[in-house]
Structure 1
């Protein structure tokens, strides 16, 4: 596989027009950020780089996700990013959700592989859409809706842009300036482009979508509550670490555990026949469990709660 453009020159590759004296500082900043980036979800994943080295294949370079909003705590903790793009060309998204009730225990997570040049195209598109630190997108007068967060890894460092009520405020008289409306439109168009990669990159460059099979999985557990609308909800013995796990906060009555290796494989096998309201048994009790496949840059429950 051809290396990504930012991997070709380990030291000399910087942004056009950047002063020579600024280059060492930028390289050190980028390397420091990469030390916290997760490795790839495979046995041959590259490890975080030393100062001055290239971006490791497992590094997250672009993500769109949600924070906040008036939703249940378990939903906040297990919410999947809309899209995650990695330097090695993996693109992970949440797939369509069926209308059946109760829904599947496992969310529909999809993986596609794109070329490094296509990764750079998406990165540049995010730049052009205005993903950068310090963007002022205003605060519409709408309550209890989520914030859309855009994260982009650039040679200047990690760039983050947050837009509260991005879709809800579209076309509404919410007190935004013309500039804020324009900038929000650019971000909305970016989302549209990321959600349809065959149209954005070309059908022959977008890769095929396949089911994402995680190496690690998180489970957010709380006391099981029966659903009176469903008569038959067979119990399943929880095959992972003992529930409920580490508390997610005072008053939440929720805990979180992560399963890796064979335990993760056992959880995935058991969950294939479970639903969202399945009572899982562990430590002599029944639990409602929200399953969240961990992405390549995630490894612990803290990775989930830190973004919520």
Structure 2
């Protein structure tokens, strides 16, 4: 049996239609002055639905700092990864977008997730694809979490002989639901998500042999001393949590990008920034990710 190897490529943002009926929001994208609906799963900023990518052939710092593709909260916030400019080096800060929907729409999404096959124990098979990530979707209703993790959800061939007809049909349903979720990050109602706290994943700075002339200008790190506690001892990735607005201001003023050296004390570090989401508190939440 031939096994295809999945190449690592940057996928283009999908131009999908976002749901409308948005509520008023504050500067951080949270609903303003709107009372909770009794039929919404959870209350306030509780997490209701999340889609993440797990595994795959990616750098270690991208594993521990991986941003969920979509996070839906009971108060109506939908936080997604927005489009990334095709430039090198890329921007220092990830482009997270927030869209606000009604609580009725949140409830409907939770129901659609379950109808699409998000149920613990669902078997969607293992296609003949190597190095592709798993797509994981969790839905939380009445304090109970239903989860499904699917290997190579998009990369598998429709006629893959390792999949049964039932597994292929289940994958089609789940892909349609995943496409709907991804559409929130490209709609006209989305706006930048400004995280109150940002985790800095720090490694010793090493000049990259990238063929670019000159050195990148160092920027002073405005948060706690780097590198912080190790998230991945094997590759020495440290983590500290800093004030989001202060980090954003330093990155903007210093014209930082993904290759910028950040100075902390007498040392320099390369940082992967990970804005913390409303249900996350610190580095321990990132250590749990796969």
TM over 0.5: yes
**Do 1:223 and 1:288's aligned partners in 2 also have CA atoms closer than 8 Å?**
yes
- Equivalent residue in structure 2 for 1:84, among 53, 56, 71: 71
- Equivalent residue in structure 2 for 1:72, among 59, 81, 90: 59
Deviation at 1:90, TM superposition (A): 0.4
User: In the alignment, is residue 268 of structure 1 matched against residue 248 of structure 2?
Assistant: yes
**TM-score of the aligned structures, taking structure 1 as reference length:** 0.78
- Equivalent residue in structure 1 for 2:198, among 217, 220, 223: 217
1:242-261 to 2 correspondence within 5 Å? 242-259=225-242
Q: Paired residue for 1:189?
A: 176
**Do 1:222 and 1:287's aligned partners in 2 also have CA atoms closer than 8 Å?**
yes
Could you tell me which runs of 5 or more consecutive residues in structure 2 were left unpaired when the two chains were aligned.
1-33
Q: Paired residue for 2:29?
A: none
Q: Judging changes above 3 Å, is the alpha-carbon distance between structure 1 residues 170 and 82 closer, same or farther for their aligned structure 2 residues?
A: farther
Deviation at 1:5, TM superposition (A): 4.1
Runs of 4+ in structure 1 over 6 Å off:
none
Q: Judging changes above 3 Å, is the alpha-carbon distance between structure 1 residues 183 and 252 closer, same or farther for their aligned structure 2 residues?
A: same
Q: Paired residue for 2:280?
A: 298
What CA RMSD, in Å, does the superposition of the two structures yield over aligned residues? 1.9
User: In the alignment, is residue 3 of structure 1 matched against residue 36 of structure 2?
Assistant: yes
Instruction: Count residues in correspondence.
Output: 253
Deviation at 1:56, TM superposition (A): 2.4
User: In the alignment, is residue 227 of structure 1 matched against residue 214 of structure 2?
Assistant: no
Q: Distance in 2 between matches of 1:138 and 1:303?
A: 29
Q: Which has the larger radius of gyration?
A: 1
Deviation at 1:197, TM superposition (A): 4.4
Q: Distance in 2 between matches of 1:66 and 1:107?
A: 16
**Do 1:67 and 1:147's aligned partners in 2 also have CA atoms closer than 8 Å?**
yes
**Do 1:2 and 1:116's aligned partners in 2 also have CA atoms closer than 8 Å?**
no
**SS of alignment partner, residue 136 of structure 1:** coil
**TM-score of the aligned structures, taking structure 2 as reference length:** 0.82
Q: Paired residue for 1:141?
A: 128
Q: Paired residue for 1:280?
A: 262
Q: Paired residue for 2:222?
A: 239
Q: Which has the higher contact order (CA 8 A, sep 6+)?
A: 2
**Do 1:216 and 1:293's aligned partners in 2 also have CA atoms closer than 8 Å?**
yes
**Do 1:130 and 1:187's aligned partners in 2 also have CA atoms closer than 8 Å?**
yes
**Do 1:114 and 1:207's aligned partners in 2 also have CA atoms closer than 8 Å?**
no
101-110 vs 268-277, which moves further? 268-277
Could you tell me which runs of 5 or more consecutive residues in structure 1 were left unpaired when the two chains were aligned.
8-53, 200-205
Deviation at 1:166, TM superposition (A): 0.8
Deviations 1:271-291 (A, max 9, x none): 222100000011311110000
**SS of alignment partner, residue 139 of structure 2:** strand
Deviations 1:159-178 (A, max 9, x none): 11100111111425250111
Q: Judging changes above 3 Å, is the alpha-carbon distance between structure 1 residues 182 and 295 closer, same or farther for their aligned structure 2 residues?
A: same
